Every structure is written in C-alpha cells, then in structure tokens.
C-alpha cells in the first residue's frame, strides 16, 4: 500500500520583509503533492548550508536540528494515518502547526522586541522606539534566531565582547543591553522564561564612567554674562540660560511649551520623557520665572499668546509626530553647534552643550548647601534620588576643604 512522503521546499517566490524565504513542507501521495506552511524561514544561502553534513556554524546547526526534528514529527503524523488523505492530514497538521508556531514565536526574542517597538510608536515615543530598533538590529547581527532559553551570562558576555570588538562604545553597549534586559523582563512577566534562569543576576551591564557635565560657579558666571556678537550664538546662549534658570528644562520640553503653561511668574510643565509612563507619582514641574527668564521669553517667543499656541516658534500645530521630532532634533543640533563655539571662545574645559545646563542647575543648588536634595529631585522631575544623584557632580574643592576642617574642630591644639 502506498505511503505518503515528505520533504522541505524553500519558497523563493515571495521573499519576506527581512530578506528571508519561507520554508514549506511538501507532502507527496499517489502522484499528487501539497505544500504547507512551517514555522521556519531561512535565506537561500543558509538553506543550502543546512543540507551539508560538515556544517560548522553552531547557530545553523541548532536551526538544522530543530527543522529536521519538526520534519520528522510531521512525517510520523502522515505515516500514522491508516487511510491517508490530504484532508485528514491537514486537520491534524494545521492544529499541530499552529501550536508549534505559537510556541516557537514565544521562544524567540525578536517577535517580543518588535511588539514592544510597535507599542512605543503607538505611545508616540519615537526616539525610544528607534533606540530599541537599533538594539534589535545589533542583536540580530550577532545571533539571528535567538531564543530566550539561549540567553545566559556567558551569552551576554560574548555579546558584549562582540559589540566592543565592532567599535561600539561602552555607552552604546550599555544602552543596547538595557533595552535587551527590558525585553527579557517582559518575557518573565509573560511566563516565557523562569526567574531561576534570569541571566542579569550574574551578569552586570557595563556602565561607562560618567563624564563631567556640570560647570563650576565661576564658569557658569562666565557663560551667563558673556555677550556674543552673532545673533545665532546669542539665541543659543539664551536657550542655555533659559534651561538653567527653569529647573534644567531640556530643549524638547522647551519646544513643547505652550502659553497655557505660563501664568504670571509661574510655569508648569510635564516632561515629555515621562508623560507616557504609567507611574502614578508623575506631577507637573513648577518653575519660578524670574526677570531673566521673562526677558528671554519676550525676545524669542511667538507673539500670538493664544493658550494653545507654542511659546517658542520651534513647533506649530498640525505637525505629525515625525515632523515634530525632526524639528526638535534640528533645533537641538543647531543650538549645540553655536554653544560649542562659545565654549571654545570662553576657554571652558568641558564642552558647552544644552545638557550641561541641566546638570549645572542641579549641581549649583547642591553646592549652595541651602537647598535640600528632595527639592532638587522634585524640581528635576525625577522619581528617585538615585537618578538625581547621577546628575550631581562632586562638591567643589573649597567646599570639601571647608567641611574637612570640621574634623579638626575641638581636636587640633
């Protein structure tokens, strides 16, 4: 009595978006054949490699093992049907194939990464989505068909070494691995992996030494009081001053300010960085607008003070999310360009950028010894003291010397 036979077929008629081709199952019986979906996809080159006996690539070896194990299971299903028919096989195969594809999809890292990136885009967190996409691209370059079960401390060490050997900075390595850890944590929540296997307990994500970003008081004074001749440099400097005076507000939040955020000498705003989060302790940041801040607003603001209009003509109503991001990126790039020129002319030992205004604001308050850390934390819009401490530079030499003298009070003769 005739028995059905099976084999694999790489369908090159419709390449997938990632450049791979779907692998299909072909079943032959009494001169007829039918093709079915499988949970696998490969490049033409990889498909040819897995058919060789001297395969050395460990990743492809594992893939080959999974493919042929799966093929053997489908062959046994076909052979177990006493009176074979394609209809009977399809009923059994379809049920098995759906379950297999669901299991494999849940085991692979890439689908969960893609799902989270999609979620970020829906939340309009475009820059964060792009960062996660870069992390995913890096991971796929290192290991294409990575499963959560394959992630161990040794794997993470190897991935870190590979990134560094491919000229990634420690900062980039840290960003990618923190994104990776977030996806792994989501897998934990979904029950895809067990916490007993959590690789980040034994592996520490590298953190580069924090560069100096806050200026000393005399440097802040020089920055604040310099008078550039060129209007573009003056504008850049004014936005640095505005950031410094307004609780270290960053340029993205400056761009999103509307007249409704200002009432007399008070400004309220929510950080764009945190407004999409689910934290229940996110409150508007309250800022006192002094004479200098008001002067900067009058100088560069949109004259139409309708509450729904933007304060500064960086953004305008009707722009798409992408257009807003592009406008802010250009505004930031241009501002930093002229700030760096000013920094060089002032002889500063640290690059003058928009980000230094935020750090200088926080550190200046801390070094004054008149402002509490909880106040600094709240004024920056932080939810934890650890984040605030990361912003703060060390005390200045004179302060350290003064406090050290306290040690000898009542002791030194």
Beta partners for residue 32, in sequence order: 29
What CA–CA distance (Å, rounded) separates 99 from 93? Answer: 10
Is residue 385 scored above 70 in pLDDT? no
pLDDT reading at 396 higher than 70: no
In the predicted structure, residue 410 carries a pLDDT above the cut 70: no
Contact 311, 257 (CB under 8 A): yes
Strand, coil or helix: what is 267?
strand
pLDDT at position 352: 92
pTM of the full structure: 0.58
Bridge partners (DSSP) listed for residue 262: 267
- pLDDT > 60? residue 9: yes
Give the pLDDT score at 240. Answer: 94
| Among 24-38, 126-140, 277-291, the least confident range | 277-291
* pLDDT in the model for residue 262: 92
Q: Round the average pLDDT of the chain to a whole number and report it.
A: 83
- What distance in Å separates the CA atoms of residue 65 and residue 353, rounded to the nearest whole number? 53
Q: Tokens at residue 307, please?
A: 């509450």
Percent of the chain, pLDDT > 70? 83
3-state secondary structure at position 247: coil
**Strand 5-10, strand 21-29: pairing:** antiparallel
Average of per-residue pLDDT across 298-313: 94
Question: What are the chain's domains?
Answer: 5-107 (no CATH), 109-201 (1.10.150), 217-401 (1.10.443.10)
Tens of pLDDT, residue by residue over 310-362, are 999 999 999 988 899 899 999 999 999 999 999 999 999 889 999 888 888 88
User: The dihedral of CA 274, 278, 281, 282: what is its sign?
Assistant: positive
Look at residues 48, 47, 55 and name the one whose alpha carbon lies nearest to residue 22. Answer: 47
- Any idea which of 55-59, 201-205, 296-300, 345-349 has the lowest mean pLDDT? 55-59
- Whether the CB-CB separation of 367 and 396 falls below 8 Å is answered with yes
Residues in the chain: 413
DSSP codes of every residue in 52-89: SSS---HHHHHHHHHHHHHHHHHHHHHHH-TT--HHHH
pLDDT greater than 90 at residue 364: no
pLDDT over 60 at 412, yes or no: no
Nearest to 314 by CA among 242, 257, 233, 377: 257
pLDDT in tens, 83-102: 888 888 887 776 555 444 44
User: What's the CA gap between 200 and 204, in Å, rounded?
Assistant: 6
Kindly indicate the confidence band of residue 408, based on its pLDDT and cuts at 50, 70 and 90. very low
CB 71 within 8 A of CB 8: yes
Q: Is the pLDDT of residue 401 over 50?
A: yes
Residue 190 has a pLDDT of: 82
């Amino acid at each position: 009595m005739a028995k059905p036979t099976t084999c694999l077929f790489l369908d090159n008629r419709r390449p997938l978006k990632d450049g791979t081709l779907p692998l299909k199952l072909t079943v032959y019986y009494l001169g007829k054949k039918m093709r079915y979906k499988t949970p696998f996809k490969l490049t033409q080159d990889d498909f040819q490699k897995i058919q060789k006996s001297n395969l050395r690539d460990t990743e492809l070896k594992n893939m080959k093992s999974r493919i042929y194990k799966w093929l053997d299971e489908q062959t046994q299903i076909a052979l177990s049907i006493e009176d074979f028919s394609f209809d009977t096989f399809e009923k059994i195969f379809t049920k098995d194939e759906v379950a297999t594809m669901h299991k494999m999809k849940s085991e692979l890292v890439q689908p969960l990464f893609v799902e989270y990136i999609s979620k970020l885009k829906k939340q309009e967190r475009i820059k964060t989505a792009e960062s996660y996409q870069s992390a995913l691209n890096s991971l796929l370059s290192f290991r294409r068909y990575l499963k959560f079960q394959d992630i161990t401390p040794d794997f993470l060490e190897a991935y870190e070494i590979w990134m560094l050997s491919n000229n990634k900075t420690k900062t980039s390595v840290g960003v990618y691995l923190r994104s990776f850890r977030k996806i792994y944590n989501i897998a934990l929540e979904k029950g895809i992996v067990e916490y007993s296997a959590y690789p980040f307990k034994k592996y520490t994500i590298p953190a580069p030494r924090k560069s100096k970003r806050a200026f000393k008081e005399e440097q802040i004074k020089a920055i604040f009081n310099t008078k550039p001749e060129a209007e573009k440099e003056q504008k850049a400097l004014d936005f640095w001053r505005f950031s410094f005076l307004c609780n270290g507000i960053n340029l993205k939040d400056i761009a999103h300010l509307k007249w409704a955020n200002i009432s007399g000498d008070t400004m309220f705003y929510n950080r764009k960085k945190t407004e999409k989060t689910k934290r229940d302790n996110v409150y508007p940041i309250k800022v006192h607008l002094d004479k200098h801040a008001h002067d900067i607003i009058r100088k560069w603001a949109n004259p139409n003070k309708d509450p729904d209009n933007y304060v500064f003509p960086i953004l305008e109503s009707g722009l798409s999310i992408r257009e807003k991001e592009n406008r802010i990126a250009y505004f930031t790039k241009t501002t930093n360009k002229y700030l760096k020129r000013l920094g060089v002319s002032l002889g500063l030992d640290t690059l003058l950028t928009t980000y230094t205004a935020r750090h200088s604001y926080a550190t200046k308050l801390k070094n004054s010894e008149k402002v509490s850390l909880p106040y600094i934390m709240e004024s920056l819009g932080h939810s934890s003291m650890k984040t605030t401490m990361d912003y703060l530079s060390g005390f200045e030499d004179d302060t350290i010397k003064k406090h050290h003298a306290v040690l000898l009070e009542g002791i030194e003769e």
